[in-house]
Structures are given as structure tokens and as C-alpha cells.
Chains A and B, each alone.
Chain A
Amino acid sequence: MLFQFQIKAPSSSARLRLLNILIVCLRRLNPRRLDCIFDFKLSLRGSLAIWQRDMLILRRSIFSELVAVVAYPLTMYLAFGIGMQGYIGMVEGVPYSLFIAPGLITMTAVSAAYNESVWSLWFHRRVQFTIESYRVTPISVSEIVIAKIFTGFTHGIIKGCAVGLVIFMITPFRFPLEHLLQYLLFLIPGSAFFSCAGIISGTVMDKPETIGKVEAVLVMPLIFMSGLFFPLSSYPLSVVPWVRALPTTALFDGARRALVAGDLLPLSVLQVSLSAFLTFVAAVYIFRYKMSE
């Protein structure tokens, strides 16, 4: 396959340097090296089979899953968005109910991704021992973990869309279609990030109560403190840079701006995407390490 690209740089020597860096990067990303890291063997047959299994289970219980997943953010929306709207009024130039709607959709998606990954992996590893039964077939450990990451991601996207659709139907919350596409640039890597984080938790934690504690102490605070219900300007100035450094802030703040105002923040997209990639590498590595113990 032939790729054509153009390097924009202020001088020819700078272009040459950039080209050299690009070549080194491509060499480092050769399939053999990737194989060493992930043990794919360039085959995701096993991942596909496990993902299809997970989707079959989701399809069987889709109605009850959606009812359960829509109830929580919708209650939050009605309580805060409608109930508090009269007291809060406008936030960053938009009505409060509009301000929190993207965050609630994003929260549903990433929570679903995290929860599916963490509980699914823990259950299959510690209770049902199905991970063990997958491991004696000719698929690699990486294929198993990639399947579980994709399952969490798919749960996140489906449930996030379901909540978005319900909010769209029963509230006056509206946005142009192009805003939705920009919003997806956050939602997709954001769900992947939380799915990978769930895989890490489900891999390293053997007790279900520990999983619950981590969710209460780490995951939910990260979501809630990332400007889900209030603007980042509410924080003291000295704290703002630290909060902005969090990938969850880039996700929630960037997603809201994209959906409500159509502002695409490339650095925030990059931050969320990079976090998702690094968590993916960590999830694969940690799962493989745990399995080899």
C-alpha cells in the first residue's frame, strides 16, 4: 500500500529532520515489534469470537440493561437540570439543563464501559473461570483482553447513545449534527479509556468489594470533579491547571464544548486519545503479566 503525505516545516532541513523522525517511528512500529508487545500474531479471530459472545449476551438483555442504565442519568437530569435550573440559571452562557446534558451522556457511556470491563473480567476470571477455558484454545492472551476492551467500549457507546436519545426526546436539548460528530471524537476514545481502566481494575483486583471501593474513591470523583455539574472556572485558579491535566477533565469539558458550542479542542481530543492508548497498552501488559503468574 502506498501512502502520500506532505510535511509542513519552515525549512528543508527541518522537513528532513521531521522525515527522519517519522521513519524511525514507523520502523519502531513494525509488526514484529507489535507482535512482541501484544502477541497478536496479526490475528484477532479470538477477539472477534469473544466479542460476538459478549454482544449475544447484551442482545439478550438489552431492554433491562437500557432501562437500568437510562434511569440514573435521567433522574440526575430531572433533579439537577430541571429542578435546579430556576436557581442556577445560565452557566457559561447556556441554560443549566443544557450545560449538564452532554456530561450526563458522557458519564453514562464511560461508566458503562468501565463497569462492563471491570465486572466482566472479574467474573470471568474469578467466578466462572471462562478466561481459563479461553486460554487453552489457540488464541493469545492479548486477543482475550482486546475482546474485553471492545466489549466495554461497545457497551459504553450503546448506553451513552441510548441516554442521549432519551434526553433528546423528552427535553428541549438540541444540537446541530456536526456538533455530534465532534462530540464523538471525545466519546469514542473516552469510552475506550474507561474500558481499558476497567480491564486493569478487573485484572488486579481479586475481591469484588475492592472494585466497589475503587469506583467510589477514584472513578466517580474523577468523573464528578471534571466539570460534569459545574464549570471549571468554579475551581480556585491555582487548582485549575491540575484539574485540566486530568484526562477526565479533557473528556468532559471538551465533550461539552463540542456538543453544546461546536468548539473542537484538538489538544483535549489528543489528551483523551493518548490516555486511551496508554491505558490500552497498560491493560494488555498487566493482563498478560497477571495471566503468566
Chain B
Amino acid sequence: MTTASISIRSLAKSYGDLTALDSFDLEVEQGSIFGLLGPNGAGKTTLIRILTTLMRQSRGDASIEGLDIRTEGRAIRCMIGVVSQENSLDRYLTARENLELHARLHGMEKRLYKRRIDDLLELMGLSGRQKDFPDTFSGGMQRRLVIARALVHQPRLLFLDEPTTGLDPQSRRAVWEYIRSLAGSMTIFLTTHYLEEAEQLCDRIAIMDHGRLIALGSTQELKDRLTGATVYEIEFTGQEADHYAALLGSMSCVLNIRQIDHKVTVTLECWECLSEIVTALNGAAIRRISLKERTLEDVFISLTGEKVRE
């Protein structure tokens, strides 16, 4: 039987009249990689700050590895590692000294942390730069150092708050590899704006908005939750795209239609409608008809809306 690493019951946080978290319920299994998605201001950072004991909730309960966040803050902080949005590295300490300070704050003995830091610097590819100051590092190296710092005391639960924001694709993929390599050895709680990141890394994903949990499941489960509508992309070779777009748009089984140059994207009520479409297109010069796979982004937008948040 798997037990919950994080258990949240009716958690709420208000700042005056503003409700940042509202009756939030969640369970995260031990050893899993859990992703939390939401637009800006959805309440993700508030939730992480409460779970990492940096902030008190207004109402509700939450526990980390069975320990109450209200009363067992110190014990919880012993077993969690936190990678915050900001790098928060000490620019006046070398890479190694940053890790050593963290180890001392965790009360580790020198003989234990010395070896552990050697291993982590090796794992993160920073051994050769351990005596350099973080200011001289690239963004990707700084991020790897922050992750290494969060792992020094061998946490059972790792919080990653937008760990790859601002990194180039290569550095982002390198960080993903490190996160994947940790899978199974600890629970990972990840927030991100990159939906591809969540799709690539997470076993389960929660989507929140306005402080509430609005969807929860695996990537596939979330995609399956979208309406039964099916989207096809039709690419015409000649100048007939306008004509056929108008024709398809008049059909009852077509829910939505969009045209960009020679490409027409049609949203059908269900996949069975495809035969009607093919019949209607009889004789048309078509280069390609392809089924457009639903992405996590489609799910995210359908649940949280397209409006840009302040």
C-alpha cells in the first residue's frame, strides 16, 4: 500500500479580502513526481510556502510524511529540500561553501557532508567549478547548484518551484535529466509554467486556478477529460481552401473551423463525423489530413481560459 507523502485537507489562505487558497484538497504519493500547474496568481507559490512551513495557513490541515505542518515545522524542514523560484545562492560563497553552509544548517557532521558534497558536485557536473563563485556560473549551472544544495541532506521530499524558468532548452533538458534520475528515491513536488516539462516528468498533475484545485490526474487522464471533440487539420494544395472551409463550416457536425492560408483546422463533434467530412471533400486537391493530438496545453487552456492574468 502506498502512503501519502503530502496530505492536504481543506487548506485555505487569505490575505485580507483576497483568497489565495480555497478549500484545497490533495494527496501526493510517496516516491512520485507530482506536478502543480496554474496560471499566474493561481496560488501555487502560496501552497508551496505553506507546505514548506514558510507561511501559516488560515484554515485547514496539511501534513508532510505524516507530520502536521502547523506543529512539526522543524521536523518537516529536516526532511524536505526546496528549490525556490529565485536562485537564492550566496554570491559571496563558492559553490562548495554554499553546499557546506546548507549542510551545517542541517546539523550534518563534517565527515558526512564532505563526501556527500563531493558526490553531488560530481553528479551535477560542477566538480571542476566548486571553488568558483556562483556569479561566474551560467544560469543552468546556478540552477544545478541550487538543486544540489537542496539535496545535500538527502531529503525525502523535494519541492521544485519553477526549476527551469529562464534556462535555455539544453540546460532545461539537463535539469530534467537530473530530476528524472531522482525519481523513486524521493517524492518530487514540481510547479512549472512549461507544460511540456510537466508532461515529460510528472506521474500525476494537478491544475489549480483561483486558489482551487480544478483537475487532477495523469497527463493522459487529463487529456481524456476534454470533450469528445476531435480536431483534424486539412492541408489543401490548390486555391480551394476558402471554398472548402466555407463548405465544412456549414456542416452540422463541425463545431469549430479555423483557416490559415491553405490549412483548415476543423473541430468535429466526434471522430465518427470524419466520414462525412471525407465525402464532402471528394475531388478536392488535398495534401494531407491529420489528426491533431490534444496537448496538455489544450487541457490547461480549456480549464483556465485564454485570458491573460494580471
Binding site for B on A (CB under 8 A): 41, 45-46, 49-50, 52-53, 56-57, 60, 128-130, 132-140, 292
Contacts and interface: CB of A to CB of B under 8 A. Distances in A.
Given A53-B93, A53-B101, A130-B88, A292 B56 contact: yes
Contacts of A41: 74
- The B interface, classified by DSSP as helix, strand, loop or mixed, is loop
How many residues of B sit at the interface, in one of the four size bands?
Answer: 20 to 34
Contacts of B86: 129, 132
Contacts of A56: 93, 97
Given A45-B107, A49-B105, A128-B88, A136 B93 contact: no
Nearest to A60: B92
Interface in B89-104: 89-93, 97, 101-102, 104
29 contacts: A45-B104, A45-B107, A46-B105, A49-B105, A50-B101, A53-B93, A53-B97, A57-B93, A128-B88, A128-B90, A129-B84, A129-B87, A132-B84, A132-B88, A133-B84, A133-B88, A133-B90, A133-B102, A134-B105, A136-B52, A136-B53, A136-B77, A136-B80, A136-B84, A137-B102, A138-B74, A138-B75, A138-B78, A292-B56
A63 to B, nearest CB: 16
- The A interface, classified by DSSP as helix, strand, loop or mixed, is helix
A292 B57 CA distance: 11
B75 A136 contact: no
B77 A130 contact: no
B105 A137 contact: yes
A134 B93 CA distance: 14
Given A56-B97, A128-B91, A129-B86, A135 B106 contact: no
A129 B92 contact: no
A38 to B, nearest CB: 14
A138 B84 contact: no
Given A41-B74, A136-B52, A138-B75, A130 B90 contact: yes
B54 interface: yes
Contacts of B149: 133
Contacts of B89: 128, 130
B131 to A, nearest CB: 13
A64 to B, nearest CB: 13
A53 B90 contact: yes
B49 to A, nearest CB: 10
A20 B266 CA distance: 89
A226 B121 CA distance: 54
A138 B91 contact: no
B55 to A, nearest CB: 8
A45 B78 CA distance: 14
A161 to B, nearest CB: 23
B248 interface: no
Contacts of B75: 138
B106 A138 contact: yes
Contact of B77 (A45, A60, A128, A137): A137
Contacts of A132: 54, 84, 86, 88
- With a 10 A CB-CB cut-off, give which of B84, B86, B101, B105 has the most chain A CB atoms: B105
B82 interface: yes
A124 to B, nearest CB: 8
Contact of B105 (A57, A128, A139, A292): A139
A56 B133 CA distance: 14
A128 to B, nearest CB: 6
Contacts of B102: 133, 137
A182 B189 CA distance: 57
Nearest to A293: B55
A133 B99 CA distance: 11
Contacts of A140: 74
Contacts of B90: 53, 128, 130, 133
